[in-house]
Amino acid sequence: MSDKGTRQRPALHLEQIAAGERAGVVDEAELAALRASDAAILAAHPAAAVAAEVERRAGRRIAEARANRQRMVWFGLPTAVAAAAVAIVMLRPGDPAAPSGEPSVLGDMSQGEAGDGVRIKGLASHLVIHRQVGEVAEPLRAPARAGAGDVLQVSYVAAGATHGVVASLDGAGVVTLHFPGEPGGSTALRQGGAVRLAQAYELDAAPNFERFVFVTANGPLDASRVVAELKTIAAFTDATTRPLQLPAGWAQSSFLVEKVSP
**What is the rounded distance in angstroms from the CA atom of residue 44 to the CA atom of residue 253?**
85
* CA of residue 89 relative to chain centroid, distance: 9
DSSP string, the chain: --HHHHHHS-HHHHHHHHTTSS-----HHHHHHHHHHHHHHHHHS-HHHHHHHHHHHHHHHHHHHHHHHHHHHHHHHHHHHHHHHHHHHHH-TTSTTS-SSS--TGGG-STTBBTTSPBP-SS--EEEEEEEETTEEEE--SSEEEETT-EEEEEEE-TT-SEEEEEEEETTS-EEEEESSSTTS--BPP-SSEEE-SS-EE--S-SSEEEEEEEEESS---HHHHHHHHHHHTTSTTTTTPPP---TT-EEEEEEEEEE--
The CA-atom distances, in angstroms, between 195 and each of 109, 192, 198, 201 are 18, 8, 9, 15
Collect the ranges in the chain with pLDDT lower than 70.
1-27, 30-31, 34, 38-51, 53-55, 58, 61-122, 262
Look at residue 254 in the predicted model and tell me its pLDDT: 95
Residue 166 dihedral angles phi and psi, to the nearest 5°? -115, 125
The CA-atom distances, in angstroms, between 119 and each of 94, 111, 122, 231, 252 are 19, 8, 10, 24, 11
- 59: burial class by Cβ within 10 Å (0-12, 13-18, 19+)? exposed
Closest CA to 158 of 199, 107, 214: 214
Look at residue 67 in the predicted model and tell me its pLDDT: 58
